Amino acid sequence: MKDIRLMKGNEAIAEGVIRAGCDGYFGYPITPQSEVLEYLMMNKPEERTGMIVLQAESEIASIHMVYGGAGCGKRVMTSSSSPGISLMQEGISFLAGTELPCLLLNVVRGGPGLGTIQPSQSDYFQAVKGGGHGDYKMIVLAPASVQEMYDFAKLGFELAFKHRIQVMVLSDGAIGQMMEKVELDEQVPRLTDEEIAIKYPWATLGKPTTRERNIITSLDLDPVKQEKINIHLQEKFRHIEQTEVRFESFMCEDAEYLFVAYGSSARVCQKAIQLGRAKGIKVGLLRPITLFPYPTQEIARLSKQVKGILSVEMSAGQMVEDVRLAANGAVPVEHYGRLGGIIPAPDEVLNVLEEKFIAKNNHGRSAN
Amino acid sequence: MTEEIIIAGFGGQGVLSMGKILAYSGMMQNKEVSWMPSYGPEMRGGTANVTVIISDDRISSPILNQFDTAIILNQQSMDKFEKTVKKGGVLIYDPNGITHHPTRTDINIYTVAAVDEAAKKGSAKVFNMLILGAFLKLKPVVDPEYIHKGLEKSLPARHHHTIPDNENAIAKGKEIVMPKYLLN
């Protein structure tokens, strides 16, 4: 029998990481994601799988505990919300420089600064373009449902270890706080130290007797060597761009207009599509699931089919830059966003689409 | 079938848990459900609201600004949500503490004197179940047997002895809901 539960997004990813065989969670509470830590504490995963759950003294401590755990080849993670993720950027850059796999969760709230506790998507640049210093990328997964919050725990660890990369789940306050149905799957066992030693030759094991000890550092003062390291990283990112793009198309087959939106905004756009289709407007949605790597080719393809693209995000216009790069001038690309924790309403989004493209087109037609 | 509901009132009235019971019940009947609470500054200011959607189809937006039904339990929520009921939709409210009654003439309006009834029963705890009963009488979106299962699922085991009281209150709520303004 299927194990189906009603859960908050934050609870779902917490259950997800336990079942994905996570070895350790290190975090510090902040709204709107504190339920992750609370759920883990209440469910005592140390009794279920031996997984460690630790409330650190700060976000900076949390990310460096992740750095240490990841260096040992363990499946480790942290979670926070926007201001806390900003604090972690130095540690994330170190993880990138040493190619250590880990899972990071940002349940985004409105900024800048302490901002608000309401949902936002204004951390896109930070997550996708590199919030820390140096030339690096993380794989960024954008869940649009509570089920995906659960699923991306396992997927996140798989991708992290497959590519030795940091995987960030970029969620928002709405997805974190809402409850939906979740179908749970089987427990993945945690790896033993022996299995880690065989699977991950890069991991540190203390003082092994069978080989030289590994030293994990992001420091190499020789620029020739450092350039080689960087070229290797870039090759890896290009490979990920070729192999790991994920997206969902919703009513795109006959679409004359296209929404591009991720996370909560994508859900709002789905409702806007229902409202629009009822009025005879052929509009579809391209929902990026990976924000890096970005579904550039699919948007380029659709930009030759549609008359206009509206990028909808709860920001002042961050992802729209990648939509414009993908469309590359083939079709007008506009942005619509609400700021500071406001979620746009479905009819509001549809009105903008009509104002920006359809009213204009009708005018153009009459001129022809 | 898709029913989009806003439940709004004071924190402590059981707004969120009533929404939760409804969502659990829908889930037990194998429907798609979503439950989106207010968790922001309004929560810290004493008011609480939750959007519940129950549907036979995949739910698109869990966040809405128009509802099939608004269940309104204080004046602040009346001021905010009366206007969000879809044309032809339903507004249910407890007149207790309401100074400005709803004035719309393009929706169906019902009252349920749940505060008074709960006081008569001597149990403020069943207040939200009286309201839930009123809603289910007007919008039977979930079958009674699944409400029972929803109660079992959403209440911790130590509170399962209260399920009969809750179900009695739901039945009573169905009786005491009164039309205030009806469309032809």
| Nearest-CB residue to B63 (from A116, A174, A274) | A174
For A342-361, the pLDDT digits (tens) are 999 999 999 999 999 998 65
Q: What is the mean predicted confidence (pLDDT) over A291-317? A: 98
Q: Find residues 77-136 of chain A whose CB sits inside 8 Å of chain B.
A: 116-118
Interface test with B, best of A118, A178, A184, A269 (most B CBs within 10 A): A178
Give the span between the Cα atoms of A305 and A307, in whole angstroms.
Answer: 7
Could you tell me how many CB contacts below 8 A there are between chain A and chain B? 73
φ/ψ of A224, rounded to 5, equals -65, -45
Q: How many domains does chain B have?
A: 1
pLDDT for B88 beyond 70: yes
Residue A79 pairs with which residues in a beta bridge?
A105
Walk me through the domains of chain A, giving residue ranges and CATH numbers: 3-195 (3.40.50.970), 248-367 (3.40.50.920)
Chain B CA closest to residue A4: B27
For residue A220, give how far its alpha carbon lies from the nearest alpha carbon of chain B (Å): 46
Position B73, amino acid: L
Which residues of chain A are within 8 Å of residue B24 when distances are taken between CB atoms? 6
Residue B37 pairs with which residues in a beta bridge?
B50
> Do β-strands B47-55 and B32-37 pair in parallel, antiparallel, or remain unpaired?
antiparallel
Structural contact between residues A54 and A26, judged by C-beta atoms closer than 8 angstroms: yes
Joined together, the tokens standing for residue A329 give: 């001038």
How many residues comprise chain B?
184
CATH of the domain at B85: 3.40.920.10
With a CB cutoff of 8 Å and minimum separation 6, the contacts of A211 are none
Q: What is the mean predicted confidence (pLDDT) over B149-160? A: 93
For A72-97, the pLDDT digits (tens) are 999 999 999 999 999 999 999 999 99
Which residues of chain B are within 8 Å of residue A31 when distances are taken between CB atoms? 39
pLDDT for B104 beyond 80: yes
User: What's the pLDDT at B165?
Assistant: 94
Give the span between the Cα atoms of A21 and A18, in whole angstroms.
Answer: 6
Mean pLDDT for chain B overall: 94
For B75-85, the pLDDT digits (tens) are 999 999 999 99
Position B152, amino acid: E
User: What's the pLDDT at B42?
Assistant: 63
For A260-290, the pLDDT digits (tens) are 999 999 999 999 999 999 999 999 999 999 9
Contact (CB<8Å) A6/B33: yes
pLDDT for A147 beyond 80: yes
For B19-77, the pLDDT digits (tens) are 999 999 999 999 999 999 987 666 666 789 999 999 999 999 999 999 999 999 999 99
Q: Find residues 225-254 of chain A whose CB sits inside 8 Å of chain B.
A: none
| Angle made by CA atoms A185, A16, A53, in degrees to the nearest 5 | 135
Position A301, amino acid: R
* pLDDT level of residue B4 (50, 70, 90 thresholds): very high
Q: For residue B106, how many C-alpha atoms fall within 13 Å in the half-sphere facing its CB? A: 7
Residue A338 at interface with chain B, using a CB cutoff of 8 Å:
no
Structural contact between residues B52 and B70, judged by C-beta atoms closer than 8 angstroms: no
Give the span between the Cα atoms of B43 and A18, in whole angstroms.
Answer: 30
pLDDT for A366 beyond 90: no
For B105-116, the pLDDT digits (tens) are 999 999 999 999
Q: What is the mean predicted confidence (pLDDT) over A336-340? A: 96
Which residues of chain A are within 8 Å of residue B39 when distances are taken between CB atoms? 31-32, 117, 173, 177
Contact (CB<8Å) A267/B24: no
Mean pLDDT for chain A overall: 96
Q: Find residues 287-326 of chain A whose CB sits inside 8 Å of chain B.
A: none
How many residues comprise chain A?
368
Q: What is the DSSP string of A123-172?
A: THHHHHTTSSSSS---EEE---SHHHHHHHHHHHHHHHHHHT-EEEEEEE
Joined together, the tokens standing for residue B114 give: 């749940």
Interface test with B, best of A6, A30, A149 (most B CBs within 10 A): A6
| Nearest-CB residue to B60 (from A32, A180, A271) | A271
Interface test with A, best of B43, B61, B149 (most A CBs within 10 A): B61
pLDDT for A367 beyond 50: no
User: What's the pLDDT at A41?
Assistant: 97
Proportion of chain A above pLDDT 90, given as a percent: 94
* pLDDT level of residue B125 (50, 70, 90 thresholds): confident
Position A294, amino acid: Y
Place of tokens 């009573």: B172
Q: Tell the burial category of B166 from Cβ atoms under 10 Å away from its Cβ (0-12, 13-18, 19+).
A: buried
For A200-251, the pLDDT digits (tens) are 999 998 888 888 899 999 999 999 999 999 999 999 999 999 999 999 999 9
User: What's the pLDDT at A48?
Assistant: 96
Question: Which comes out higher in pLDDT, residue A9 or A211?
Answer: A9
For A15-33, the pLDDT digits (tens) are 999 999 999 999 999 999 9
Sheet of strand A333-336: strand arrangement: A247-250, A283-288, A257-260, A308-312, A333-336
> Do β-strands A179-184 and B32-37 pair in parallel, antiparallel, or remain unpaired?
antiparallel
* pLDDT level of residue B1 (50, 70, 90 thresholds): very high
Q: What is the DSSP string of A184-217?
A: E-PPPPPPPHHHHHHH-TTS--SS-SSSPPP---
Give residue B162's domain range: 2-181
Q: How far apart, in Å, are the Cα atoms of A93 and each of A27, A64, A130, A236, B11?
A: 18, 11, 8, 16, 43
| Nearest-CB residue to B35 (from A179, A274, A346) | A179
Q: What is the mean predicted confidence (pLDDT) over B97-105? A: 96
Give the span between the Cα atoms of A20 and A17, in whole angstroms.
Answer: 5
Q: What is the DSSP string of A312-368?
A: E-SSSSSTHHHHHHHHTTSS-EEEE---TTPPPPHHHHHHHHIIIIIHHHHHHHHH-
Structural contact between residues B134 and B109, judged by C-beta atoms closer than 8 angstroms: no
Chain A CA closest to residue B62: A267
* pLDDT level of residue A165 (50, 70, 90 thresholds): very high
Joined together, the tokens standing for residue A316 give: 């002042």
Which residues of chain B are within 8 Å of residue A174 when distances are taken between CB atoms? 36, 62-63
| Nearest-CB residue to A174 (from B23, B27, B36) | B36
> Do β-strands A139-141 and A290-292 pair in parallel, antiparallel, or remain unpaired?
antiparallel
Contact (CB<8Å) A6/B39: no
Structural contact between residues A322 and A294, judged by C-beta atoms closer than 8 angstroms: yes
Interface test with A, best of B6, B39, B50 (most A CBs within 10 A): B39
User: What's the pLDDT at A32?
Assistant: 96
pLDDT for B152 beyond 60: yes
Joined together, the tokens standing for residue B150 give: 């929803």
Q: What is the DSSP string of B134-157?
A: HHHHH---S-HHHHHHHHHHHS-G
Residue A267 at interface with chain B, using a CB cutoff of 8 Å:
yes
Contact (CB<8Å) B62/A345: no
Q: State whether residue A309 is helix, strand or coil.
A: strand
Contact (CB<8Å) B27/A268: no
Structural contact between residues B110 and B92, judged by C-beta atoms closer than 8 angstroms: yes
